[in-house]
Amino acid sequence: TVLIVDFGSQVTQLIARRVREAGVYSEIVPFQQAEEGFRRIAPKAMILSGGPASAADEGSPRAPDAIFAAGIPVLGICYGQQVMCAQLGGGVEGGHHREFGRAFLDIAAQSPLFEGVWPKGTRHQVWMSHGDRVTALPDGFEVIGTSSGAPCAAIADEERRFYAVQFHPEVVHTPDGAKLISNFVHRIAGLAGDWTMAAYRDQAIAAIREKVGDGHVICGLSGGVDSSVAAVLLHEAIGDRLTCILVDHGLMRKNEATEVLELFREHYNIPLVHADVADLFIDALEGEADPEVKRKTIGKLFIDVFEAEAKKLAVDGKTAEFLAQGTLYPDVIESVSFAGGPSVTIKSHHNVGGLPERMNMQLVEPLRELFKDEVRELGRELGLPERFIGRHPFPGPGLAIRCPGGVTRDKLEILREADAIYLDEIRKAGLYDAIWQAFAVLLPVQTVGVMGDGRTYEFVCALRAVTSVDGMTADFYPYDMDFLGRTATRIINEVRGINRVVYDVTSKPPGTIEWE
């Protein structure tokens, strides 16, 4: 087992996942429980995650000293690197040199951590997100890699098998990062493994059966890959004790609800209820501008609808006891400080932090540990048609979080039309599968334009498209200008209410994929 100490990084689960990809079992413990976890698990190797604190500050979180005396390999990442240095006698300095996003690492020495990928003297892309840096090495350490903002970007004490890096090897924007983690668990810690998605599927089915017993489950189905995979997995686990509900909240894309219903009914024989509740949602949101209030309002209404539908479906006065959702790990980590853990809430994803505190059903979330691409892999394992698997993600709160400022019916209509044209152009250009997610955002800003010799004063539409593997980090998609020009012209000509189109070129971090 590899034990991962979580200092509250947004991407700690990605470390677990990279270890999983290397076929090795791992567990994550919040730093407050690291000492206890270390004793209970007796790990063969440790990884210290990043986190929002500053190791230079007094009283900031530390790793248990015992792990450095146990003779096992330790890998520190970002904050984990600084903690390691601070605890082993090195120096850390608070942030003058903030580095966010892409950076380049120069390899200063040969190391088993870099074996097979990064020879001495070469330069490689890495992903940074930090404000502090290491300024003095603890005894026994040498610099094995440098970047312009971090002279000690990668350091090692080969003898004690301690490694520490300032960048994030766990994110895909460090293209060789997975190999580094695999080197750490295989070459350095000497671990081998046999974790597979088929094993995961069997485990997940057994866990659902155990949790649900002979109860009934209602599953929210949006047509996205997560809820579809959750539904099919549940169906395998509990058969006809599952009913799916499509909550048509008036915040879906153009024609989306109809398409999803048809697609699902064509392929599966799972009872599927269409709840047409657009007025309920839009009346509640009308004029609301605060993103968190929007998300929470939507989360609460979802539950109201599920509970009302569960009542309608009750057999002999007995309603469904369980509500299943396709919640993924990124939804969890960005919404809550998991298990009382140390991370900061970024936004309340409707199916996690947006849920009301009191609800009458228990949650079943079989995908809670997984990332989107792992869910796609699980979907293939379950035999889902590619049409489900290849769909772009679409958030539960839908178009409401793509209408910054107040949501109104008119704005939703404008946005829906612009979004449909944008996606149509993407499909026509053959780009749909190359893009992780694309959508339009209607800004609450009007600007002056001139059309047909007349003055216009209308809204701005922002287009967003990103590439990503798991939604945790992302890069904007590099369209060619012809594509952007063509799409902007069509939107302005065909959609009343928009007279200007802009393209969002922000990566994640520092942006998020959605605007709210």
The DSSP string of 103-123 is EEEEE-S--GGGTTT--TT-E
**Which residues have a Cβ under 8 Å from the Cβ of 148 and sit 6 or more positions away?**
103, 104
- Shortest Cβ distance from residue 350 to ligand XMP (Å)? 4
Task: Give least dist CB 511 to ligand XMP, A.
Answer: 8
The token duo for 267 is: 């392929």
CB of residue 370 to ligand XMP, shortest distance in Å: 13
Q: Is 226 annotated as a binding residue?
A: yes
Residue 194 CA to residue 206 CA, distance in Å, equals 19
**Phi, psi (rounded to 5 degrees) for 157:** -115, 90
Please tell me whether residue 331 binds ligand XMP under the rule CB under 6 A: yes
Residues 398-437 that bind ligand XMP (CB under 6 A): 437
Q: Which is nearer to ligand XMP, 350 or 411 (CB)?
A: 350
Instruction: Please identify, using beta-carbon distances, which residue of 87 and 335 lies nearer to ligand XMP.
Output: 335
Kindly list the catalytic residues: 78, 168, 170
The answer to the question of residue 467 lying near ligand XMP (CB under 6 A) is no
Q: Which is nearer to ligand XMP, 157 or 514 (CB)?
A: 514
Residues pairing with 119 in the sheet: none
E strands present in 393-515: 437-451, 454-467, 475-476, 498-503
Cα–Cα distance for residue pair 284/281, rounded to 1 Å: 5
Asked if 220 touches ligand XMP (CB under 6 A), the answer is no
What does the alpha-carbon distance between residue 310 and residue 489 come to, in Å, rounded to a whole number? 46
Dist. CA 419–CA 426, nearest whole Å? 11
Binder to ligand XMP among 334, 374, 417, 475 (CB under 6 A)? 334
Q: Where are the alpha helices (DSSP H) in 147-196?
A: 177-182
Give the binding range for ligand XMP (CB under 6 A) out of 71-79, 91-99, 269-277, 395-403.
Answer: 395-403
Q: Is 475 in the site for ligand XMP (CB under 6 A)?
A: no
Q: Is 100 helix (H, G, I), strand (E, B) or coil?
A: strand
Residue 396 lies near ligand XMP (rule: CB under 6 A): yes
Interaction of residue 170 with ligand XMP, rule CB under 6 A = no
Between CA 211 and CA 307 the distance in angstroms is: 20
- If one asks whether residue 87 binds ligand XMP (CB under 6 A), the answer comes out as no
**CB of 294 or CB of 411, closer to ligand XMP:** 294
What does 275-333 look like in DSSP terms, one character per residue?
A: EE-HHHHHHHHBT---HHHHHHHHHHHHHHHHHHHHHHT-BTTBPP-EEE----HHHHH
DSSP 137: P
Residue 111 among known ligand-binding residues? no
Q: Whole-number minimum distance, CB 393 to ligand XMP, in Å?
A: 4
Which residue in 61, 80, 366, 393 binds ligand XMP (CB under 6 A)? 393
Determine whether the annotation assigns residue 223 to a binding site: yes
Task: Please tell me whether residue 8 binds ligand XMP under the rule CB under 6 A.
Answer: no
The kind and range of the H/E element at 234 are helix 225-238
CB 155 within 8 A of CB 137: yes
Q: How many CB atoms are located within 10 Å of the residue 345 CB?
A: 12
Task: Decide if 391 contacts 224 (C-beta within 8 A).
Answer: yes
- For the bound state, the minimum distance from the C-beta of residue 253 to ligand XMP, rounded and expressed in Å, comes to 12
Distance, in Å, from the CA atom of 458 to the CA atom of 473, rounded to the nearest integer, reads: 33
Q: Closest CB to ligand XMP among 26 and 437?
A: 437
Selected binder of ligand XMP within 5, 67, 508, 509 (CB under 6 A): 508
- Determine the 3-state secondary structure of 392 from DSSP: coil
| Nearest to ligand XMP of 254, 349 (CB atom) | 349
| Contact region with ligand XMP (CB under 6 A), list: 15-23, 43-51, 392-400, 426-434 | 392-400
Q: Quick check: 296 binds ligand XMP (CB under 6 A)?
A: no
User: Is 309 or 331 the residue whose CB approaches ligand XMP more closely?
Assistant: 331
- Cα 404 versus chain centre, distance: 21
**Sign of the alpha-carbon dihedral angle for 372, 377, 381, 383:** positive
Burial of 455 (0-12, 13-18, 19+ CB in 10 A): exposed
Smallest distance from ligand XMP to CB 332, Å:
11
Pick one of 30, 138, 169, 471: the residue that binds ligand XMP (CB under 6 A): 471
346, two tokens: 């970024």
Residue from 51, 177, 395, 509 touching ligand XMP (CB under 6 A): that is 395
For the segment 337-366, give every residue that binds ligand XMP (CB under 6 A).
Answer: 347, 349-351
Q: Is 227 annotated as a binding residue?
A: yes
Judged by CB under 6 A, which of 30, 37, 397, 509 binds ligand XMP? 397
| Residue 341 annotated as binding site | no
Residues 295, 129, 437, CA angle at the centre, nearest 5°?
A: 45
Was 9 annotated as part of a binding site? no
Nearer Cβ to ligand XMP (115/504):
504
Residue 486: CB minimum distance to ligand XMP, A: 25
Give yes or no for residue 256 binding ligand XMP (CB under 6 A).
Answer: no
Is 224 marked within a binding site? yes
507 binds ligand XMP (CB under 6 A): no
308: phi then psi, degrees, rounded to nearest 5: -65, -40
Which ranges in 393-513 belong to alpha helices (H)?
Answer: 409-428, 481-494
Stretch of residues binding ligand XMP (CB under 6 A), selected from 64-72, 110-118, 390-398, 414-422: 390-398
Comparison of 250 and 396: residue with beta carbon closer to ligand XMP: 396
Summarize as ranges the residues that interact with ligand XMP (CB under 6 A). Answer: 330-331, 334, 347, 349-351, 393, 395-397, 437, 471, 508, 512-514
Question: Which parts are annotated binding residues for ATP?
Answer: 222-228
